[in-house]
């Protein structure tokens, strides 16, 4: 009986050794994955060290073993670096990845919306600001961005309504210079800008010094009179004269 037990133990030991050897030979022996350390990325982010963020956080992002939460933090940190370096497309791509991993973060939508606005894509920017507010109705920055963009779109709509149109009704134009302005979009836009800036500087001047406001109006009337009288003469450049007048008015506005 004693021999039987010893024999069984010997056989078991030999069998286990054979299994271990075979596993080692085939490379199927289970290994423990090294834990991904997010500390370097976290420290780099806290120190606002962009170069270290790119290296440490970039390493976390590229490592398939990185935990989901650490990957999100690393992506947000790197997106911040790309934003500061004006690499807008790459920053947006990182925020896209964050949204794919976690669609609940209002801050990410707001940050991505600001980037879309920089690129000129107002539609996507508005969508992101709206998404941020849906996730956090008390998010002040997102609310401010949303309202500002809505007002900008309204202003753009108003400008489009008068784009390529002068400050006066072309249907009532009688002078040759007025007809020329109506026929040329560049001249028409210049005329409208001149009229708008002139009205603004006169209004500001009148608020503190009414005589100064009247003097500015006389200057504008004199410009229009010179323009009307000189139009058609060989040495008169209407476009040049109008641009010079707009520059003059803008200089007055900046000095106020």
Residue 189 lies in a domain: yes
Picking from 102, 126, 147, the residue at the C-terminal end of a domain is: 102
The pLDDT of residue 1: 45
The pLDDT of residue 159: 62
Both tokens of 24, joined, read: 């080692």
The pLDDT of residue 11: 41
Picking from 115, 138, 162, the residue at the C-terminal end of a domain is: 162
The pLDDT of residue 150: 86
pLDDT, tens digit, 9 for 90 and up, residues 155-202: 777 666 777 889 899 999 999 999 999 999 999 999 999 998 999 999
Both tokens of 167, joined, read: 């400050």
Note down the domain range covering 185: 170-254
Pick from 69, 68, 46, 50: which is nearest to 58 by CA?
A: 50
Whether 144 and 185 map to the same domain: the answer is: no
Instruction: Identify the CATH number of the domain in which residue 158 sits.
Output: 1.25.40
Whether 180 and 230 map to the same domain: the answer is: yes
Residue 24 lies in a domain: no
The pLDDT of residue 158: 64
Q: Report phi then psi at 137, rounded to 5.
A: -60, -20
pLDDT < 70 positions in the chain: 1-35, 158-160
Whether 175 and 250 map to the same domain: the answer is: yes
Residue 19 lies in a domain: no
The pLDDT of residue 35: 55
Whether 177 and 250 map to the same domain: the answer is: yes
The structural domain count of the chain equals 3
Residue 135 lies in a domain: yes
Residue 31 lies in a domain: no
The pLDDT of residue 110: 97
Residue pair 228/222 in contact by the 8 Å Cβ criterion: no
Residue 199 lies in a domain: yes
According to the 3-state scheme, what is the secondary structure of the chain?
A: CHHHHHHHHHHHHHHHHHHHHHHHHHCCCCCCCCCCCCHHHHHHHHCCCHHHHHHHHHHHHHCCCCCHHHHHHHHHHHHHHHHHCCCHHHHHHHHHHHHHHCCCCHHHHHHHHHHHHHHCCHHHHHHHHHHHHHHCCCCHHHHHHHHHHHHHHHHHHHHHHHCCCCCCCHHHCCCHHHHHHHHCHHHHHHHHHHHHHHHHHHHHHHHHCHHHHHHHHHHHHHHHHHHHHHCCCCCCCHHHHHHHHHHHHHHHHHCC
């Amino acid at each position: 009986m004693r021999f039987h037990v010893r024999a069984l133990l010997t056989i078991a030991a030999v069998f286990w050794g054979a299994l271990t050897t075979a596993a080692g030979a085939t490379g199927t022996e289970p290994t423990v994955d090294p834990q991904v350390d997010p500390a370097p990325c976290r420290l780099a982010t806290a120190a606002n060290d962009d170069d270290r963020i790119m290296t440490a956080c970039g390493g976390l992002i590229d490592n398939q073993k990185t935990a989901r939460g650490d990957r999100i933090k690393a992506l947000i940190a790197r997106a911040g670096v790309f934003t500061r370096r004006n690499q807008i497309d790459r920053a947006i791509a990182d925020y896209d990845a964050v949204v794919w991993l976690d669609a609940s973060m209002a801050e990410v939508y707001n940050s991505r919306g600001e980037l879309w606005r920089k690129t000129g894509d107002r539609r996507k920017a508005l969508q992101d600001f709206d998404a941020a507010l849906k996730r956090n109705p008390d998010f002040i920055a997102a609310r401010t961005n949303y309202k500002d963009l809505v007002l900008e779109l309204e202003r753009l709509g108003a400008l489009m309504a008068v784009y390529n149109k002068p400050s006066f009704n072309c249907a009532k134009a009688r002078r040759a210079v007025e007809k020329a302005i109506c026929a040329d979009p560049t001249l028409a836009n210049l005329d409208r800008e001149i009229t708008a800036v002139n009205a603004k500087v006169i209004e500001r001047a009148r608020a503190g010094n009414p005589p100064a406001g009247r003097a500015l109006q006389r200057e504008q009337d004199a410009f229009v009179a010179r323009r009307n009288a000189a139009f058609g003469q060989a040495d008169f450049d209407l476009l040049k004269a109008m641009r010079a007048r707009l520059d003059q008015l803008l200089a007055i506005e900046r000095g106020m």
